[in-house]
Protein backbone atom coordinates (compact mmCIF):
# COMPACT_ATOMS: atom_id res chain seq x y z
CA UNK A 1 0.00 0.00 0.00
CA UNK A 2 1.16 3.52 -0.78
CA UNK A 3 2.87 5.14 2.19
CA UNK A 4 2.21 8.80 1.28
CA UNK A 5 -0.89 10.75 2.23
CA UNK A 6 -2.46 10.84 -1.24
CA UNK A 7 -4.43 7.62 -1.78
CA UNK A 8 -6.26 8.40 -5.05
CA UNK A 9 -4.51 6.31 -7.70
CA UNK A 10 -5.50 8.51 -10.66
CA UNK A 11 -4.18 11.69 -9.04
CA UNK A 12 -1.01 9.90 -7.91
CA UNK A 13 -0.43 8.63 -11.44
CA UNK A 14 -0.88 12.08 -13.02
CA UNK A 15 1.50 13.66 -10.50
CA UNK A 16 4.09 10.94 -11.12
CA UNK A 17 4.11 11.86 -14.83
CA UNK A 18 4.35 15.63 -14.31
CA UNK A 19 7.43 17.43 -15.56
CA UNK A 20 8.68 20.96 -14.99
CA UNK A 21 6.03 23.54 -16.04
CA UNK A 22 3.33 20.92 -16.71
CA UNK A 23 -0.02 21.94 -15.22
CA UNK A 24 -2.69 20.28 -13.13
CA UNK A 25 -6.08 21.90 -12.48
CA UNK A 26 -8.28 21.49 -9.42
CA UNK A 27 -11.78 22.85 -9.86
CA UNK A 28 -15.17 23.32 -8.32
CA UNK A 29 -18.13 21.27 -9.51
CA UNK A 30 -19.02 23.85 -12.19
CA UNK A 31 -15.68 24.16 -13.98
CA UNK A 32 -15.98 22.72 -17.50
CA UNK A 33 -13.43 20.05 -18.41
CA UNK A 34 -12.20 20.45 -21.98
CA UNK A 35 -12.48 17.57 -24.43
CA UNK A 36 -9.32 15.51 -24.48
CA UNK A 37 -8.18 16.47 -20.97
CA UNK A 38 -8.26 13.72 -18.34
CA UNK A 39 -11.11 14.24 -15.89
CA UNK A 40 -10.63 12.96 -12.35
CA UNK A 41 -14.09 13.33 -10.87
CA UNK A 42 -14.18 13.31 -7.09
CA UNK A 43 -17.55 15.09 -6.76
CA UNK A 44 -20.12 13.13 -4.75
CA UNK A 45 -22.69 15.78 -3.81
CA UNK A 46 -22.69 19.58 -3.64
CA UNK A 47 -19.89 20.48 -1.27
CA UNK A 48 -18.30 17.03 -1.04
CA UNK A 49 -15.38 16.85 -1.22
CA UNK A 50 -14.51 20.47 -0.59
CA UNK A 51 -11.83 22.17 -2.64
CA UNK A 52 -9.34 22.96 0.15
CA UNK A 53 -8.66 19.41 1.44
CA UNK A 54 -8.10 18.22 -2.14
CA UNK A 55 -5.68 21.10 -2.78
CA UNK A 56 -3.78 20.31 0.43
CA UNK A 57 -3.45 16.63 -0.49
CA UNK A 58 -2.16 17.45 -3.97
CA UNK A 59 0.32 20.02 -2.63
CA UNK A 60 1.72 17.35 -0.30
CA UNK A 61 2.74 15.34 -3.39
CA UNK A 62 3.42 17.89 -6.15
CA UNK A 63 6.24 20.42 -6.33
CA UNK A 64 4.61 23.70 -7.41
CA UNK A 65 6.40 26.83 -8.63
CA UNK A 66 3.36 28.88 -9.62
CA UNK A 67 -0.40 28.96 -9.24
CA UNK A 68 -2.92 30.52 -11.59
CA UNK A 69 -6.27 31.81 -10.34
CA UNK A 70 -9.20 33.59 -11.94
CA UNK A 71 -9.26 37.32 -11.13
CA UNK A 72 -12.91 36.95 -10.16
CA UNK A 73 -12.00 34.88 -7.08
CA UNK A 74 -10.99 38.12 -5.33
CA UNK A 75 -14.58 39.45 -5.32
CA UNK A 76 -16.68 36.31 -5.56
CA UNK A 77 -14.87 33.95 -3.14
CA UNK A 78 -12.45 35.94 -0.97
CA UNK A 79 -12.58 33.26 1.74
CA UNK A 80 -11.34 30.59 -0.69
CA UNK A 81 -8.62 32.96 -1.92
CA UNK A 82 -7.48 33.65 1.64
CA UNK A 83 -7.24 29.91 2.35
CA UNK A 84 -5.35 29.24 -0.88
CA UNK A 85 -2.80 31.95 -0.13
CA UNK A 86 -2.35 30.68 3.45
CA UNK A 87 -1.68 27.14 2.20
CA UNK A 88 0.70 28.40 -0.47
CA UNK A 89 2.62 30.42 2.13
CA UNK A 90 2.91 27.32 4.34
CA UNK A 91 4.14 25.29 1.36
CA UNK A 92 6.68 28.03 0.53
CA UNK A 93 8.02 27.99 4.07
CA UNK A 94 8.36 24.21 4.11
CA UNK A 95 10.14 24.06 0.74
CA UNK A 96 12.09 27.34 0.98
CA UNK A 97 10.80 28.17 -2.50
CA UNK A 98 8.74 31.07 -3.74
CA UNK A 99 5.44 30.10 -5.34
CA UNK A 100 4.31 32.79 -7.77
CA UNK A 101 0.63 33.74 -8.00
CA UNK A 102 -0.91 34.86 -11.29
CA UNK A 103 -4.45 36.19 -11.74
CA UNK A 104 -6.15 36.03 -15.15
CA UNK A 105 -9.75 36.52 -16.37
CA UNK A 106 -11.93 33.43 -15.87
CA UNK A 107 -12.45 32.93 -19.61
CA UNK A 108 -8.67 32.83 -20.10
CA UNK A 109 -8.41 30.48 -17.10
CA UNK A 110 -10.80 28.04 -18.77
CA UNK A 111 -8.73 28.18 -21.96
CA UNK A 112 -5.55 27.38 -19.98
CA UNK A 113 -7.14 24.23 -18.58
CA UNK A 114 -6.93 22.77 -22.12
CA UNK A 115 -3.19 22.21 -21.59
CA UNK A 116 -3.53 20.64 -18.13
CA UNK A 117 -2.46 17.03 -17.70
CA UNK A 118 -5.75 16.55 -15.84
CA UNK A 119 -8.62 18.41 -14.21
CA UNK A 120 -9.60 17.23 -10.74
CA UNK A 121 -13.29 17.99 -10.18
CA UNK A 122 -14.29 18.49 -6.56
CA UNK A 123 -17.76 18.90 -5.13
CA UNK A 124 -16.98 22.50 -4.10
CA UNK A 125 -20.02 24.69 -4.53
CA UNK A 126 -18.45 28.15 -4.23
CA UNK A 127 -17.76 30.27 -7.31
CA UNK A 128 -14.27 30.41 -8.80
CA UNK A 129 -12.83 27.76 -6.45
CA UNK A 130 -10.43 26.74 -9.20
CA UNK A 131 -6.64 26.63 -9.43
CA UNK A 132 -4.04 25.71 -11.99
CA UNK A 133 -0.86 24.33 -10.42
CA UNK A 134 2.33 24.77 -12.44
CA UNK A 135 4.77 22.00 -11.64
CA UNK A 136 8.17 22.91 -10.27
CA UNK A 137 11.19 20.75 -9.66
CA UNK A 138 12.47 19.23 -6.44
CA UNK A 139 16.08 20.23 -6.98
CB count, 10 Å around CB of 134?
21
Active site annotation includes 106: no
Task: For residue 105, give every residue at least 6 positions away whose Cβ sits within 8 Å of its Cβ, in sequence order, or none.
Answer: 70, 71, 72
* Given the residues 4, 7, 9, 20, the one annotated as active site: 20
- C-alpha distance from residue 56 to each of 9, 64, 78, 91, 124 (Å): 16, 12, 18, 9, 14
Cα gap 77→126, rounded to integer Å:
7
CA angle 12, 43, 85 (to 5 degrees): 70
Could you give the residue numbers annotated as active site? 20
Amino acid sequence: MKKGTLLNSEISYVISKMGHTNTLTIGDCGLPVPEGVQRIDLAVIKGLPEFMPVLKAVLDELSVEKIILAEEIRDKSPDILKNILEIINLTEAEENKKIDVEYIPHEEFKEKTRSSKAVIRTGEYKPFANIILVSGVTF
